[in-house]
Amino acid sequence: MSEAIPQSPPRVRATAKWPGLTVLAVVLLVLPFLAGNDYHYDLMIKIALTAGVAVGLNLLVGYAGQISLGHAAFYAAGAYGSALLVSHYEITPVPAMLLAAVGVAVLAWLVGRPILHLKGHYLSMATLGLGVIAAIVINNEDQLTGGPDGLTVAPLSVFGHELSVFGSYQLFGLTISGTQVWYGIAAGFLFLSVVFALNLIDSPLGRALRALHGSEIAAQVAGVDTAKFKLRVFVISAVYASLAGSLYGYYGGFITPNIASFTHSIELITIVVLGGMASTYGVILGAVILLLIPQFLTGFQELEMVLFGAILMAVMIFMPRGLVPTLARRFQKEAP
């Protein structure tokens, strides 16, 4: 049977991408002027990196309809892989990050071929097992990864210049701090992640993924090689996580097995569901909310996690499609 791609119009048209990208670029450029101290920058950097992972995961969950409960494994593989390449093989950080991403892509391809033939709860359990295995390996191989004590990561360097959080740098005659430089790197990563995702959604691959999400059987009848397309998007989302993990390691200078934990994987899935599946900008908002809410609840001490869970439950009950899709539908109904 020849492979055919459904010719339905894409959700994100070429002309429709630019307003959203423009707003995102403006927000990312304005945020540094609102940051009062390094703590604010630290929070914005972590939000940007987490949102980048969520954008990639949204391609897998929101568009292809494949649930992954072990995506933190790829995040940790990128972080530990690039750190070990720098420390053990004396590869410079940027090539190490790219090599780690290639290694993660190969790993995702090898793992994805058998498990993506599964469906529903079986697929979720298989990806959960992947995350558990990664966490166990990182904890037990203490001579290589540092085990539970963690691993020190060399700082990112570009053209021989180390980009440390604690440094200061000259740019066009202006003195900027290390945290400001790192915010620029994280914001650039997020912006490029969104650009790539939107272009992919607007491609034949994106249309095939939407057909797959709607009905895998119908997509197969139409001639779509569902196994191939699921594997492709699984690898792409894993590379997103790997790159973000490498940047996180370079930024913090220290990584622990917690980044490969089941809790981290659930946090990533929650971001996608909270912001709105199949909504690229929605998952960015989901990352902002999920990482900011705990900051406002710290004063409640023992009740912090209870209130945090109650807020997430309320959102899911009253906005089951996620924040952005639900709000978008309401505005469309109210429009004349």
Q: Identify the band that residue 336 occupies on the pLDDT scale cut at 50, 70 and 90.
A: low
The burial of 308, by beta-carbon neighbours within 10 Å (0-12 exposed, 13-18 middle, 19 or more buried), is given as middle
d(CA 37, CA 183): 12
> CA angle 161-162-167, nearest 5°?
110
pLDDT > 70: percent of the chain: 93
- Can you give the pLDDT at residue 6? 38
Higher pLDDT among residues 159 and 81, named by residue: 81
Query: Dihedral, CA atoms, 219, 70, 246, 175, nearest 10 degrees?
Result: 90
Q: Identify the band that residue 239 occupies on the pLDDT scale cut at 50, 70 and 90.
A: very high
Q: Among 61, 56, 82, which Cα is nearest to 127's?
A: 61
Q: Identify the band that residue 4 occupies on the pLDDT scale cut at 50, 70 and 90.
A: very low
d(CA 94, CA 246): 9
Q: Identify the band that residue 8 occupies on the pLDDT scale cut at 50, 70 and 90.
A: very low
d(CA 9, CA 286): 27
d(CA 245, CA 57): 14
pLDDT > 90: percent of the chain: 57
Q: Other CB atoms closer than 10 Å to residue 171's CB: what's the count? A: 10
Q: Which 3-state string (H, E, C) describes the chain?
A: CCCCCCCCCCCCCHHHHHHHHHHHHHHHHHHHHHCCCHHHHHHHHHHHHHHHHHHHHHHHHHHCCCCCCCCHHHHHHHHHHHHHHHHHHCCCHHHHHHHHHHHHHHHHHHHHHHHCCCCHHHHHHHHHHHHHHHHHHHHHCHHHHCHHHCEECCCEEECCEEECCCCEEEECCEEEEHHHHHHHHHHHHHHHHHHHHHHHHCCHHHHHHHHHHHCHHHHHHCCCCHHHHHHHHHHHHHHHHHHHHHHHHHHHCEECHHHHCHHHHHHHHHHHHHHCCCCHHHHHHHHHHHHHHHHHCHHHHHHHHHHHHHHHHHHHHHCCCCHHHHHHHHHHHHCC
- Can you give the pLDDT at residue 39? 92
Query: What are the two backbone dihedrals, phi and then psi, of residue 22, each rounded to the nearest 5 degrees?
Result: -65, -45
List pLDDT tens digits, range 79-117: 999 999 999 998 999 999 999 999 999 999 999 999 888
The burial of 124, by beta-carbon neighbours within 10 Å (0-12 exposed, 13-18 middle, 19 or more buried), is given as middle
User: Could you tell me the two tokens for 285?
Assistant: 């908002």
Q: Among 208, 213, 278, which Cα is nearest to 8's?
A: 208
d(CA 316, CA 311): 9
pTM: 0.90
d(CA 93, CA 306): 41
State the fold for domain 18-261: ABC transporter involved in vitamin B12 uptake, BtuC (1.10.3470)
- Which residue shows structure tokens 């914001």? 187
CB 318 within 8 A of CB 327: no
How much is the mean pLDDT over the chain? 87
Tell me: pLDDT of 137 over 80. Answer: yes
d(CA 70, CA 210): 22
- Can you give the pLDDT at residue 303? 76
User: Could you tell me the two tokens for 143?
Assistant: 């001579």
